[in-house]
Amino acid sequence: MPKILITGASGLIGKRIQEMLLAQGHDIHTLGRSAGVPQTSKVSHFIWDVKNQKIDSKALAGVDTIIHLAGAGVADERWTSSRKKEIMDSRVDATKVLYKTLASTSHQVKTIISASAVGYYGDCGDEIVTEGHPVADTFLAEVTRRWEEEVSKVEKLGIRHVCCRIGIVLAKNGGALPELVKTFPIGIVGYFAKSPLYYPWIHIDDVCGIMIHARENQTMKGSYNTTAPGPVPIKTLMEAILTAKKSKAILAPVPTFALKLALGEMADMLLSSQRCSDEKILKTGYKFHFPTLKKALEDIYGP
């Protein structure tokens, strides 16, 4: 069975997709900046030096698919000028070295599946957002635009490219949920008092499932909204979390100006409404494991 190379394998999605691919019987190569990463008979780790644009060429041996997830976390730190540069460079420069290596090395890579984000669209209100929607004029939109642009260059090499514009990832051990439920222990749950404010959520298993489906479905190419059916208003999402957790916390609106004061430009990430369409991915035959918010949250918090 062909090997699969994963960049950003230590992240939330990277860890889960490894588990799912290993369960299918695949051998995995991971690519990262640090040595000493645990390896097994099924998982081999290789080093890349993004700054000096070098990759251990053995990372591509026997690989037919690359799942490209690498990039500094956009919500991990406040957006100073240096942090914004790191967020951009970690995606663009990493992709440049990947392209350079593929263009100059003998390999068997046929497909690249890359991560992007619905931040590409900016704040769209209650408009139904398809993949053809123009890119917004925000920092996150510029990051995703340049990231996608760099990855798409592999098409010149005859490599099929699928771009997953990922929504709000719901997971047991990371993603958006830990931040959304931080105030639950004190009995107050906030939601941002902005309307419309749609959140295009998706269970992590469906993020990974769509990527695996994209590898197997050779007709797929280009960008796909990687979001579940039925994006919901933020208040509806918080009400569903309260129900799933069987919490008696009080739901209260949070003024958007307070968020902007606290986070500055980062607030755009939380206050952008994206009512993303899932029509394009459904037409490929993908069937969601968690098509409803209720089912997704029951899986995470228990029935």
Residue 37 has pLDDT above 80, yes or no: no
Q: CA-to-CA distance for 111 and 67, rounded, in angstroms?
A: 9
pLDDT single digits (tens) 141-167: 999 999 999 999 999 999 999 999 999
Arithmetic mean of pLDDT, 4-28: 95
Q: Please, what is the average pLDDT of the chain?
A: 93
pLDDT band at 178 (very low <50, low <70, confident <90, very high): confident
What confidence tier does 272 reach under pLDDT thresholds 50, 70, 90? very high
Domain total for the chain? 1
| pLDDT number for residue 117 | 97
Residue whose structure tokens are 């919500």: 75
- Greatest Cα pair distance, the chain, in angstroms, is 59
**Residue 301: strand, helix, or coil:** helix
pLDDT, average across residues 177-191: 86
Element (H, E) at 123: none
pLDDT higher than threshold 90 for residue 292? yes
Out of 6-15, 120-129, 224-233, 258-267, least confident range: 258-267
The pLDDT of residue 23 is above 80: yes
| Share in percent of the chain as helix, strand, coil (round to 5) | 40, 25, 35
Q: Across residues 244-268, what is the average pLDDT?
A: 86
Angle at which helices 234-244 and 293-301 pack, to 10 degrees? 40
DSSP-derived secondary structure for 183-237: TGGGTEEEEE--SS-EE-EEEHHHHHHHHHHHHH-TT--EEEEE--SS-EEHHHH
Residue (of 248, 242, 252) closest to 294 by Cα position: 242
pLDDT at 186 over 90: no
Q: What are 94-119's pLDDT values in tens digits?
A: 999 999 999 999 999 999 999 999 99
Question: If we measure between CA atoms, which residue out of 288, 144, 113, 116 comes closest to residue 202?
Answer: 288
Res. 265 pLDDT band, cuts 50 70 90:
confident
DSSP code at position 255? -
pLDDT band at 185 (very low <50, low <70, confident <90, very high): confident
Q: What is the pLDDT of residue 266?
A: 83
Residue with the larger pLDDT of the pair 46 and 258? 46
Instruction: Answer whether residue 189 shows pLDDT above 90.
Output: no
CA-wise closest residue to 9 among 36, 43, 60: 43
Higher pLDDT, 33 or 25: 25
Domain containing 178 — which CATH number?
3.40.50.720
Quote the pLDDT of residue 183.
84
**What does pTM read for this prediction?**
0.95
Within 10 angstroms of residue 256's Cβ, the number of other Cβ atoms is: 15
Give me the pLDDT at residue 77, please: 86
- Report long-range pairs for 185-189 (Cβ below 8 Å, ≥24 apart): 187/248, 187/249, 187/250, 188/249, 188/250, 188/252, 189/238, 189/241, 189/242, 189/247, 189/249, 189/250, 189/251, 189/252
**Count of alpha carbons within 13 angstroms of residue 229, beta-carbon side:** 13
What's the DSSP call for residue 42?
Answer: S
Peptide bond into 196 cis (omega under 30): yes
The residue-averaged pLDDT of 190-200 equals: 92
Question: The domain containing residue 149 runs over which residues?
Answer: 3-301
